[in-house]
Structure 1
Amino acid sequence: MLAAAVAWPALAQAAELVMFARTGCPWCERWDHEVGALYPKTETAKLLPLRRVNIDARAPQGMILATPVLFTPTFVVVDGGREVGRITGYINDDAFWGLLDQLVAKLRATRPAGAKLTPS
């Protein structure tokens, strides 16, 4: 527990994909089945490691969201503790990857000139 508390400031500065989910959510389960096992093996996961958050638990500290998360699943790209963009809901893997590619492009565009988004 203490290690997590000490590591949080460093983690908050890294870019990540935060999945807000709820136990029993059928669309979350579908995402897990269609994308979840593959995601950690992708280049995108190296840029945006996945962190799961239970929507019914207290919101993560140190994360600034544009609006509250109301639906599951919701995928939020966070960089430096701030929301870059989000995908609300899950339809299928093609739609998810296409929308996530758009968010990665947006993340790269928000970086200062000369700064690179590199895998962690």
Structure 2
Amino acid sequence: MHRRAVLTTLALAAAFPAAAAAPAPRGWALLMVEAPRCPFCAAFRREVLPGYASHPLGRAAPLVSVPIDGPWPDGLALASAPQASPTFILLKDRMEVGRFQGYDDPETFWRALGGLLA
């Protein structure tokens, strides 16, 4: 694990002590970091989430939703703490592989996720 990822993990744990929630999933996962009353998060939930689990990319990286201010799943190694919502963070065995911020429309979302998984 890179030193920066370890430091970020420790910083998140210190900032969100209630993060002793559930452990982050093993394998591929997509972490969606969202904020209350975020209109872009609401649009994602309305336009993409209903079919996410049945989409090939959604099956490849199951979605885990986390509030921007926690609690966070245990055992995450992130490059940095997310500052905007929504932020989508692709994880492989609880380590960040890549991320993208924002939501415009379903096509842009699937293209960005496909690019990360490729």
Normalised TM-score (structure 1) = 0.75
Distance in 1, Cα, partners of 2:36 & 2:49: 15
Q: Between Structure 1 and Structure 2, how many residues are aligned?
A: 98
Report the CA distance between 1:95 and its aligned residue: 0.9
The secondary structure found in structure 2 opposite 1:97 is helix
The secondary structure found in structure 2 opposite 1:31 is helix
Instruction: Compute the RMSD of aligned alpha carbons.
Output: 1.6
Report the CA distance between 1:81 and its aligned residue: 1.1
Q: 1:78 aligns with which of 91, 97, 107?
A: 91
The secondary structure found in structure 2 opposite 1:38 is helix
Distance in 1, Cα, partners of 2:53 & 2:94: 21
Give the percent of matched residue pairs that are identical in Structure 1 and Structure 2: 34
Structure 1, 75-84 or 36-45: larger mean CA deviation: 36-45
Higher relative contact order (CA 8 A, sep 6+): 2
Q: 1:65 aligns with which of 78, 95, 99?
A: 78
Matches within 5 A, 1:1-120: 8=23, 11=25, 13-105=26-118
Distance in 2, Cα, partners of 1:53 & 1:62: 14
Report the CA distance between 1:58 and its aligned residue: 3.2
Unaligned runs of 5+ in 2: 1-20
The secondary structure found in structure 2 opposite 1:69 is coil
Unaligned runs of 5+ in 1: 106-120
What is the CA deviation profile of residues 4-43 of structure 1, one whole-angstrom value per residue up to 9, with x for unaligned ones? Answer: 85xx37x2x3210010011211000011111111111111
